Structure 1
Amino acid sequence: MEQLLQAVQEGDLQQINALLESFLTDAEPAAQYEIAEALMHYGFLNEADRVFEHLQFLFPEEAQISIDRASVLIELGEEDDALDLLMGIASDVPEYPQALLILADYYQMQGLFEVAEQRINEALQILPHEPLLQFAKAELLFETGRFSEAARIYEELYTIEKKFAGIILAQRLAEVYRAGAAYERALDYYMEALEEEVTADLLFGSGYAAFQTEKYELAIKQLEDLKELDPDYFSAYLLLAESYAMLENNKRALSVIKEGLKRDEYDKSLYLFAGKMALKNSRQHEAIEFLSEAIALDPEYMEAILILMSVYSAEQRFEEIIALYEQLQQNEFEWSALYPFAANAYNEEEQFQKAYEIYKEAYNDFNDDIEFLEKYCLFLVEDGKRDEAKQIAQRLVRLQPSEQQWTDLLERFE
């Protein structure tokens, strides 16, 4: 027995197999059961199943052995055999709720949440005050988005025990309140959980909850600690940069987001935010580079495209606007929000027919946009399309009755 336990602990599979057959022949059943548990614990599932199968042969009516073997078979992917064992356990034996719990866990993993809940409820009818069953119910409710119900059970359990199944309940409560957008309560529980254990996920969760409750200094502290603990926790960089930006520390926000891009160069949202922060820091050239990278990663990244078009427009880089617009068209990406930029760019580049076509196309979506209508009207006047210009001028008069220039224009048309 000592030799076999040592082989298990050392991961010596050859020695395990060499000792196992004689051990199953000679050892007492209690010792065999102990070895089976050790094999399970260290991940020797096929060998554990071999021992449980032998014990099952010796004790065919022993429900606990069937349950243990079923757990191993599920891990090995032999679900049908495992389900047969679990379904064969009589409802009047003390181990029946345990069998129901394993069935519920299996169905939950398969996404059959209603069936899983039925099994847990059946077990709770037998043992209504069993904390582990209540915890399993709360876990299922949490996974299926029933946050308030899950929180109620977690809160009740928290008065009994601070940990269940190795999980810190304060962390679960923080997660369920965060998922339900109750960020103040979530933050309290995150800070409590961090007193028990400091992990990257807890630091990020507390930073996120602090950000949502506008406690930006605390968010920065938690996320800076996280960055130091795990520099490759990619999600931290964007949230940390956003926290600095909320305090208008735009220089530090840009610096942090650049650090994030060194860690994760394929996250388009990092490039987008880097572009925004570069603009805040009056670094237009960098902003264009970042936004272009975001669009390269996702050619239909609408927010990045719109901001880049705005930057090009502000800098009167009309050729770039046309190039980007035509590239999007080649990719069969049509978005009416870009029409005003494109129409104005074609007009500035003296491609008047193309500008006219896009202006007409844009009018359906922008007939309440004063800036667009002004440019459209002036374009039509310069292009000699007096009747159409008159219609746009009439629209502007209705929208801006106090603006004299459109009234004067109409009078000249008359």
Structure 2
Amino acid sequence: MNTLQELEQLLLDGDLESLNDRIEKLQASTEFDQLYDAANLFIDYGFLSQADAIFSQLLDFLPDEAQLKIDRAAVLLELGEEDDALLLLTEIKPEDEEYAQALLAQADYYQTIGLAETALSKVREASTLAPHEPVIQLAEAELLLDSGRYSEAVRIYQKLHEKTDEIAGVRLSSRLAEAYSAGAAYEEAIPYYEELLDQETNPNELFGIGLAYYQTERYTDALNKLEQLLEMDPDYFSAYMLAGQSHSHLNEDAQALELFQKGIERDTYDKELQLAAGKSALKLQLPQESERYLKEALVLDPEYIDALVTLASLYDQQENDDALIELLTYSEADQLEIPLLHAFLAYAYERIENYKEAYEMYRKAYDGMQEDAGFMDQYAKFLLEEGKQTEALKVIRKLVEIAPEAEEWKVYLEGQSEEEV
């Protein structure tokens, strides 16, 4: 067994004491090639500090070796020692053969600290030195993808994909599918997902193509892929939501509710699944079930506006005024300035004949509800009942403007004009 095999066996055995003894003996030698290979072995097994120590030792003996500086800088970046890594990389000069590689390493550094444009400039500088080097072109595309410049990334990935499908362990068809999807070009993404799935079935790619089918309204195709995904990985939580929504679009509300329920069984803390189940139950005329899911969503997030509005709407339809007032008055909802919620409260207070509170809620809702003909109609009637004719006329004029078909209010306004004459 040679030295590297011995080290690897110790790593596999987890014998750290013997491993440290063997490292000390190795570092006492001057067999640079063996030390270098050992450092890369440690990197493969995640022993970055040990790899760094060896690279540091090698640089003591070979201070001008540019490749060693690049290798150590990469390890330092992984260890979070970004400044030391950059210092090493800037020691590599333009005349060095490894300069383009050093520029790519610098790009990694700048990307790590959030300076995407600086990283891109380093990659493009490297590209001028080696314009036909696929690894550099790939690095530019990766940065563009991470920066949200999807169409630019796609152009480079496409060019590379014409010659090969894999560079440095990166599947170009996967990147093209990802870039097209991220840029909402789902139709263009589908062939690349299909290409990937022809070679290997992968949960993430099944979800990706399921989402692409969903976004292009191919709901049955989406369901086929999502069901396959859930058979492979029942804990792929986001697939339950997407599969349920696909059933909803196909008007298969019972199947949708079943998917949402299965998702909730796997993850009871997913407020979006709770909301989706509540809405599906509502469509299926299961108000008690709907209320239960919506309440659970609000337990998870008391300011979950969509759940709050849906539950308030349910109570309003049921004229369950005590529950509606309790929901919107004695909770976090009381602090939310949402016109529709004020409108629901106005209706509830009016029904229980608390006209003072109803008037306040109508007034609060008015500015945000002026385009809602149903609200405006209700408000106009309330104001007239309360003898507030001047305010009512203002509301009615606006109502007729947004709903020309409101003939009864047109007649009312005409009658008011005749009285004025």
TM range (shorter): over 0.9
Instruction: Indicate the residue corresponding to 2:411 in structure 1.
Output: 407
Q: How does 1:45-64 map to 2 (within 5 A)?
A: 45-64=48-67
Partner in structure 2 of residue 234 of structure 1 = 237
**Map of 2:124 onto structure 1:** 121
Conserved 8 A contact 2:339-2:369:
no
- Measure, in 2, the Cα distance between the counterparts of 1:346 and 1:356: 9
Q: Of residues 149, 152, 163 in structure 2, which corresponds to 1:160?
A: 163
Q: Distance in 2 between matches of 1:117 and 1:202?
A: 28
Equivalent in the alignment of 2:34: 31
Deviations 1:343-368 (A, max 9, x none): 11111111111112222333333345
Residues 267-282 of structure 1 correspond to what in structure 2 (within 5 A)? 267-282=270-285
Alpha-carbon distance, 1:411 to partner:
4.5
User: Which residue number in structure 1 is paired with residue 186 of structure 2?
Assistant: 183
Aligned 1:241-256 pairs, distance under 5 A: 241-256=244-259
Corresponding position of 2:198: 195
Listed one character per residue, the Cα deviations across residues 176-203 of structure 1 (whole Å, up to 9, x for unaligned) are 0011111111011011111232221111
Q: Contact 2:400–2:409 (CA<8 Å) still a contact in 1?
A: no
Secondary structure at 1:232 match in 2 = coil
| Equivalent residue letter for 1:181 | A
> Is 2:328–2:334's contact at 8 Å kept on the other side of the alignment?
no
Provide, for residues 109-160 of structure 1, a one-character-per-residue CA deviation record: whole Å limited to 9, x for no partner.
Answer: 2111111111111111111101001000000001111111100110111122
Cα displacement (A) at 1:175: 0.4
Question: How many residues are matched?
Answer: 414
Following superposition, the deviation at residue 395 of structure 1 comes to 5.3
Counterpart pick for 2:104 among 91, 101, 105: 101
Pairwise CA distance, 1:262: 1.4
> Is residue 25 of structure 2 the alignment partner of residue 22 of structure 1?
yes
Letter in 1 for 2:379: Y
* 1:261 is the counterpart of 2:264: yes
For 2:62 and 2:46, the matched residues in 1 are separated by 24
1:207 aligns with 2:207: no
Q: CA contact under 8 A between 2:127 and 2:136: conserved in structure 1?
A: yes
| 1:285 CA drift (Å) | 1.0
Q: Which moved more, 1:307-316 or 1:213-222?
A: 307-316
Q: Does 1:349 align with 2:352?
A: yes
Is the 1:397–1:407 contact (alpha carbons within 8 Å) kept by the matching residues of 2?
no
Task: Give runs of ≥4 in structure 1 deviating > 6 Å.
Answer: none
Q: After superposing the two structures, state which structure 1 stretch, 187-196 or 72-81, moved more.
A: 72-81
1:11 to 1:71, Cα distance in 2 relative to 1, 3 A: farther
User: Separation in 2 of the partners of 1:284 and 1:225?
Assistant: 32
Local SS of the residue matching 2:28: helix
User: Scaled by the length of structure 1, what TM-score is found?
Assistant: 0.93
- Please list the CA deviations of residues 289-344 of structure 1 after superposition, one character each: whole Å capped at 9, or x if unmatched: 11222223222322222222221121111111211221257742221112222111
Moved more, 203-212 or 321-330: 321-330
Q: Which amino acid aligns with 1:298?
A: D
Report how far residue 403 of structure 1 moved.
Answer: 2.2
Q: Which of 10, 13, 16 lines up with 2:16 in the alignment?
A: 13
Is the contact between residue 328 and residue 334 of structure 1 (CA under 8 Å) also seen in structure 2?
A: no
Whether the 8 Å contact between 1:9 and 1:42 is mirrored in structure 2 is: no
Instruction: Give the residue type in structure 1 aligned to 2:257.
Output: L
**Unmatched 5+ stretches in structure 2:** none
**Matches of residues 287-366 of structure 1 in structure 2 within 5 Å?**
287-328=290-331, 331-366=334-369
- Structure 2 residue identity aligned to 1:403: E
- Shift in CA distance, 157/391, structure 1 to aligned 2, threshold 3 Å: closer
Match of 1:92 in 2: 95
TM-score by length of 2: 0.91
What is the CA distance between 1:174 and its match in structure 2? 0.2
3-state SS of paired residue (1:161):
coil
Q: List per-residue Cα deviations over 1:274-300 (Å, max 9, x = no partner).
A: 111101111111111112222232223
Q: How far apart, in 1, do the equivalents of 2:405 and 2:78 lie? A: 74
The more displaced of 183-192 and 32-41 is 32-41
2:210–2:222 Cα contact (<8 Å) kept: yes
